[in-house]
């Protein structure tokens, strides 16, 4: 019984650790939810803006792993559509809770 309880407790703690929010700084592109990682480039600004006007949401595409996160502060990223940026914030699941955003160096794509 003690082993079973310890196993359940360990699995529960591990699952809780996976669901915790992650604070950090990431570099990537502001794209739209329709194009996602395909729209993560320096030429996508106009297309990203059109897609958002058509109902898509702004997303952040991380350079490191191409993971796509919906940005909670849509108004803060609108001016950066298609731009290569550095963001600070908290990732909670598939959502980036944005604290700050600034232009980053071109990635050479």
Distance of alpha carbon 15 from alpha carbon 36, whole angstroms:
28
Distance of alpha carbon 15 from alpha carbon 83, whole angstroms:
35
Once rounded to an integer, what is the mean pLDDT over residues 16-43? 84
Instruction: Answer for the pair 57, 33: CB distance below 8 angstroms, yes or no.
Output: yes
> Tokens at residue 66, please?
């191409």
pLDDT given at position 66: 95
Once rounded to an integer, what is the mean pLDDT over residues 90-106? 92
Domains along the chain with CATH numbers: 21-103 (2.40.50)
Burial 24-62 (b: 16+ CB within 10 A, else e): eebebbbbbbbbebebbbeebbebbbebbeeebebbbbb
Once rounded to an integer, what is the mean pLDDT over residues 52-72? 97
Once rounded to an integer, what is the mean pLDDT over residues 53-68? 96
Distance of alpha carbon 39 from alpha carbon 15, whole angstroms:
33
Predicted model pTM:
0.77
Average pLDDT, the chain: 86
């Amino acid at each position: 019984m003690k082993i079973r309880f310890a196993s359940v407790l360990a699995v529960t703690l591990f699952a809780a650790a996976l669901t915790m929010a992650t604070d950090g700084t990431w570099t990537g592109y502001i794209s739209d939810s329709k194009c996602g990682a395909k729209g993560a480039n320096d030429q996508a600004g106009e297309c990203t803006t059109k897609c958002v006007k058509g109902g898509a949401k702004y997303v952040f595409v991380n350079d490191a792993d191409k993971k796509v996160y919906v940005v909670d502060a849509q108004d803060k990223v609108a001016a950066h559509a298609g731009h290569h940026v550095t963001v600070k914030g908290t990732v909670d699941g598939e959502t980036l809770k944005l604290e700050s955003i600034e232009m980053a160096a071109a990635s050479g794509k």
